[in-house]
């Protein structure tokens, strides 16, 4: 059976032609011809039909100010639409492979493999019970696109889906294409660049959109697929809760003074409203289905008792339900369930106190249907809603709080100073002793309602903890029950948060602790000191009591972004791998369950890459079944905007996690040959030394400022928080996102590969090239960690274009260019050579479709890069030129499908 009417070439060709038609109609035929000249000049050089980019340079340099803006808009629009074409191709690939039973990384294949290996049903149930996957949407959109633009693109994507998957008459096809043309025309006239930074509320709504419009519906379908797959091999095996979604949007305070308690309160309220409205709609839908005649079908005793309890709780509503639905008990019950949903945020009593109570009512309906032989109805209509409630609760996504540890230290010091305690002068041991005693005593130390004359920072921190107590009372502890501490370096940094929570009643030991306190380890010193930090906490009376109330589960967050920016790609990856193993072994020895929280970004240098491969590459010791990781930027849209792709992402995550957990159960301590570890212990320090040598070189910061568009990126209004921590232009102070974004714009993806070659060469020099290369090939073939690391570096290398980067390097002072650019290119070329030699491939990329995508995009990104360089080289730019420059940043980001 033919599933699709189109292919990616058709989509690319027709959408590209449509951009040309709209350009000619909305601008002019001459503007269209200019864009065509630039496009053809770029293609000619890429194909080898032109000796150099001279003609392209000439065309770009001769553009008028107005024409520059049109060119930037044309290529940006093209990339936005080509991204949709490639998304549609991914959907085709998923559907075709699914239809043919050939999906790789599929849950179905893994379950069949388990059955063949003799995995017993009880063993499978234990594996599934261990697994909990928590994608966490962060407050860093890092998307250059405006929400208005994304909305228009989503509409176009839906039209493409109709053209591709539906059997249409010619009249219907023409009507849909007319709508596509109208949307593209509207897109052309829409401002691409934000005029103001998004506010935290905008970021929270952005995250909410994916939860509400895609994931909420996808989850029920995904569980249905999982259960069907399991039943084919194992019969009746319970499939427990496997996913939970969390968010930092509207609650992450680190470096963002605009995230206030009011923002968090609004986010919690809005998310609850969305969840409740979703459930109310689903109950109405169920009511249309569950119209069974009570006189013909038996109703379970539990349902009868539940209706009787409702009659006491809502006598008037029950009477109305009986009149409206005589002898239709399921409809009566659903009417009362809607009433209870309506009263959740109402002064009237009787609303559901939590999602468990709502789930109990659904269970009553499900059990009654099952007892009366109506399993088909239960499975098709009730079970998906149960899964939604189990996953999203009444909160849609639980929020994590986060702030920098310095703010907590200042708040504690100032608050207790009013009580005569000199916290600042205490050493680490003294701070721990004071905080422990204060947490364990019955009475509070400070008056959170009136902390006295304190700084703005202290007032803000204490106010937040007071609000936390109120939020948990209002929305339930599960709505906001995690507190992450950035730049944790000492045990006292964790105890400070526990102390502040204790002062407002969120913690009351030994009986209650309302939150997980999560150290974020992101510096080399913090990672290497993880056992010291955790060991001190586990031995601490107060923290041990808190941990006990949380089920002895310790969440630890690892910072990929800052680790990479501090150490370089290879050294950061090895540090994270080794420290994860040490942390996991330590927690196991302490009889504490570790939940690792991987602070991954969208780009390779910030821990990005395919999530299923990343999960499979984790050390066995760390795979407890529970795993948490950040999702941000374009990665959110790429994974969760399209329902079919979103469902596939969930399947791949589950498949990877259950396979990894099965392997970890069989082999709790990963058997990594000593010679592999020795190789990494030579490569990583050498790579770190080379990387830090570059960053610490006199003049490098100036070169970075001159040879990248960092000054534009800093003002691009990507997110609500500032681009740097203090406003200073230093690599240390700059946030990881603009650091990576700026290099990505220049097509020199330095954060994804720099010093890789130096590290590998140090190993080859130490053991000899022949023996060393043989060992590295063995590591690549047999060790998921090393294979994933090298493949990710290969992707960054494949997306690097030294010739384009040279154009940006020419913007720098001559002496800076000569000092740095040849070194960067040399490291790139050697890295490319080594990745090919170790992987024994003739191309950097393992995936053919990705190679095709780069080949399709590169000729169209080139004109934008040259236009951007041209604009950056002007000392005085007009307002129109500034707008065009910012638009080139958007366009290149769309073309590269990445910011930071």
Q: Catalytic positions, please? A: 140, 565
**Residue given tokens 């501490």 in the structure block:** 485
Phi-psi region of 597 (alpha: psi -120 to 50; beta: other; left: phi over 0): beta
Helix (H, G, I), strand (E, B) or coil at 576: helix
- Assigned token pair, 32: 């269209």
Q: Please tell me the distance from the alpha carbon of residue 690 to that of residue 305, in angstroms, as a whole number.
A: 72
Cα angle, residue 784 at apex, residues 779 and 785 outer, rounded to 5°:
85
Whether residue 448 contacts residue 466, with contact meaning beta carbons closer than 8 Å, is answered with yes
Whether residue 279 contacts residue 385, with contact meaning beta carbons closer than 8 Å, is answered with yes
- Assigned token pair, 738: 């603009």
Q: Please tell me the distance from the alpha carbon of residue 348 to that of residue 88, in angstroms, as a whole number.
A: 48
Phi-psi region of 262 (alpha: psi -120 to 50; beta: other; left: phi over 0): alpha
Helix (H, G, I), strand (E, B) or coil at 299: coil
Helix (H, G, I), strand (E, B) or coil at 559: strand
Rounded alpha-carbon distances, angstroms, from residue 16 to 21, 72, 78, 860: 9, 15, 6, 11
Q: How far is CA 616 from the centre of its chain?
A: 17
Rounded alpha-carbon distances, angstroms, from residue 280 to 275, 331, 342, 391: 9, 13, 8, 16
Q: Please tell me the distance from the alpha carbon of residue 285 to that of residue 868, in angstroms, as a whole number.
A: 53
**Residue given tokens 């041209």 in the structure block:** 870
DSSP per-residue codes, 158-199:
HHHHHHHHS---HHHHHHHHHHHHHHHHHHHTS--S-SSPPP
DSSP per-residue codes, 520-543:
EE-SHHHHHTHHHHHHHHHHSHHH
Non-local (6+) Cβ contacts of 176 within 8 A are 159, 162, 163, 168
Buried b (16+ CB within 10 A) or exposed e, 261-289: bebbbebbebbbebbbebbbebbeebbee
Whether residue 168 contacts residue 176, with contact meaning beta carbons closer than 8 Å, is answered with yes
Buried b (16+ CB within 10 A) or exposed e, 437-447: ebbeeeeebbe
Residue among 93, 4, 23 at smallest CA distance from 645: 93
DSSP 116: H
Residue among 630, 511, 896 at smallest CA distance from 741: 896
- Assigned token pair, 799: 């997306």
DSSP per-residue codes, 824-872:
HHHHHHHHHHHHHHHHT-SSS-S-HHHHHHHHHHHHHHHHHHHHHHHHH
Residue among 656, 647, 627 at smallest CA distance from 215: 647
513 pairs with which residues across the strands? 507
Taking each helix axis as running N to C, give the angle between helix 491-503 and helix 530-539, from 0 to 180 degrees, rounded to the nearest 10. 40
Q: Please tell me the distance from the alpha carbon of residue 860 to that of residue 284, in angstroms, as a whole number.
A: 50
Q: Please tell me the distance from the alpha carbon of residue 560 to that of residue 522, in angstroms, as a whole number.
A: 7
Whether residue 581 contacts residue 622, with contact meaning beta carbons closer than 8 Å, is answered with yes
Whether residue 364 contacts residue 302, with contact meaning beta carbons closer than 8 Å, is answered with yes
- Assigned token pair, 450: 């009136």
Whether residue 267 contacts residue 156, with contact meaning beta carbons closer than 8 Å, is answered with no
């Amino acid at each position: 059976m033919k599933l699709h009417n189109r292919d990616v070439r058709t989509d690319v060709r027709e959408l590209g032609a449509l951009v040309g038609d709209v350009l000619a109609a909305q601008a002019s035929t001459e503007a269209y011809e200019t864009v065509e000249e630039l496009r053809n000049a770029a293609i000619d050089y890429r194909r080898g039909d032109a000796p150099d980019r001279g003609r392209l340079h000439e065309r770009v340099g001769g553009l008028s100010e107005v024409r520059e803006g049109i060119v930037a808009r044309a290529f940006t629009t093209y990339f936005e639409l080509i991204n949709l074409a490639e998304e549609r191709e991914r959907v085709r690939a998923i559907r075709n492979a699914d239809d043919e039973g050939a999906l790789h990384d599929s849950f179905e294949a893994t379950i069949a493999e388990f059955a063949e290996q003799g995995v017993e049903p009880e063993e499978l149930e234990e594996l599934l019970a261990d697994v909990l996957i928590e994608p966490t949407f962060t407050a860093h959109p890092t998307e250059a696109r405006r929400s208005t633009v994304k909305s228009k693109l989503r509409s176009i994507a839906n039209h493409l889906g109709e053209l591709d998957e539906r059997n249409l008459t010619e009249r219907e096809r023409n009507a849909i294409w007319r709508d596509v043309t109208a949307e593209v025309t509207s897109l052309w006239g829409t401002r691409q660049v934000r005029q103001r930074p998004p506010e935290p509320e905008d970021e929270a709504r952005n995250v909410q959109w994916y939860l509400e419009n895609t994931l909420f519906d996808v989850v029920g379908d995904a569980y249905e697929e999982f259960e069907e797959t399991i039943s084919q091999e194992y019969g009746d095996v319970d499939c427990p809760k496997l996913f939970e979604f969390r968010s930092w949007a509207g609650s992450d305070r680190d470096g963002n003074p605009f995230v206030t308690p009011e923002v968090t309160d609004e986010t919690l309220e809005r998310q609850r409203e969305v969840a409740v409205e979703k459930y109310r709609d689903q109950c109405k839908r169920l009511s249309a289905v569950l119209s069974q005649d009570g006189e013909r079908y038996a109703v379970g005793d539990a349902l009868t008792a539940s209706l009787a309890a409702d009659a006491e709780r809502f006598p008037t509503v029950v009477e109305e339900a009986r009149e409206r639905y005589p002898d239709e008990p399921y409809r009566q019950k659903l009417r009362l369930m809607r009433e209870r949903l309506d009263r959740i945020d109402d002064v009237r009593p009787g609303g559901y106190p939590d999602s468990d109570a709502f789930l109990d009512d659904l269970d009553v309906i499900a059990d009654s249907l099952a007892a009366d032989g109506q399993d088909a109805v239960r499975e098709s209509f009730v079970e998906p809603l149960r899964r939604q409630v189990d996953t999203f609760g009444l909160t849609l996504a639980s929020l994590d709080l986060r702030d920098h540890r310095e703010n907590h230290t200042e708040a504690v010091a100032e608050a207790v100073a009013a009580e005569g305690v000199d916290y600042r002068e205490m050493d680490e041991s003294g701070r721990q002793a004071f905080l422990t005693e204060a947490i364990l005593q019955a009475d509070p130390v400070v008056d959170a309602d009136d902390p006295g004359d304190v700084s703005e920072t202290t007032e803000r921190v204490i106010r937040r903890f007071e609000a936390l107590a109120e939020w948990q009372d209002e929305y339930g502890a599960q709505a906001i029950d995690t507190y992450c501490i950035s730049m944790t370096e000492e045990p006292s940094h964790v105890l400070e948060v526990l102390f502040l929570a204790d002062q407002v009643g969120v913690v009351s030991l030994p009986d209650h602790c309302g939150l997980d306190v999560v150290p974020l380890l992101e510096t080399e010193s913090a990672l290497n000191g993880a056992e010291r930090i955790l060991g001190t906490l586990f031995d601490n009376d107060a923290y041990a009591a808190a941990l006990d109330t949380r089920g002895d589960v310790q969440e630890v967050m690892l910072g990929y972004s800052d680790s990479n920016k501090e150490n370089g790609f290879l050294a950061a990856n090895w540090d994270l791998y080794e420290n994860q193993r040490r942390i996991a072994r330590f927690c196991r020895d302490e009889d504490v369950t570790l939940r690792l929280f991987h602070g991954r970004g969208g780009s390779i240098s910030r821990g990005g890459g395919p999530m299923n491969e990343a999960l499979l590459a984790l050390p066995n010791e760390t795979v407890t079944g529970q795993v948490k990781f950040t999702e941000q930027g374009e990665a959110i849209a790429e994974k969760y905007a399209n329902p079919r792709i979103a469902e596939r992402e969930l399947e791949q995550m589950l498949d990877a996690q259950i396979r990894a957990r099965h392997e970890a159960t069989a082999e709790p301590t990963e058997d990594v040959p000593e010679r592999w570890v020795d190789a990494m212990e030579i490569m990583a320090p050498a790579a770190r030394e080379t990387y830090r040598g570059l960053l610490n070189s006199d003049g490098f910061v100036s070169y970075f400022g001159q040879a990248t568009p960092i000054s534009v990126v800093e003002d691009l209004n990507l997110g609500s928080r500032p681009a740097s921590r203090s406003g200073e232009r230093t690599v240390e102070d700059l946030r990881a996102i603009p650091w990576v974004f700026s290099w990505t714009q220049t097509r020199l993806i330095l954060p994804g590969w720099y010093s890789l070659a130096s590290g590998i060469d140090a190993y080859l020099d130490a053991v000899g090239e022949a023996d060393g290369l043989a060992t590295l090939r063995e590591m690549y073939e047999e060790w998921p960690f090393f294979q994933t690391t090298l493949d990710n570096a290969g992707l960054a290398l494949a997306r690097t274009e030294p010739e384009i980067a040279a154009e940006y390097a020419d913007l720098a002072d001559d002496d800076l260019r000569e000092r740095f650019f040849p070194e960067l290119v040399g490291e790139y070329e050697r890295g490319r050579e080594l990745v090919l030699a170790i992987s024994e491939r003739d191309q950097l990329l393992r995936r053919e479709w990705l190679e095709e995508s780069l080949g399709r995009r590169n000729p169209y990104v080139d004109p934008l890069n040259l236009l951007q360089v041209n604009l950056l080289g002007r000392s005085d730019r007009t307002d129109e030129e500034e707008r065009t420059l910012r638009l080139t940043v958007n366009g290149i980001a769309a073309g590269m499908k990445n910011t930071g």
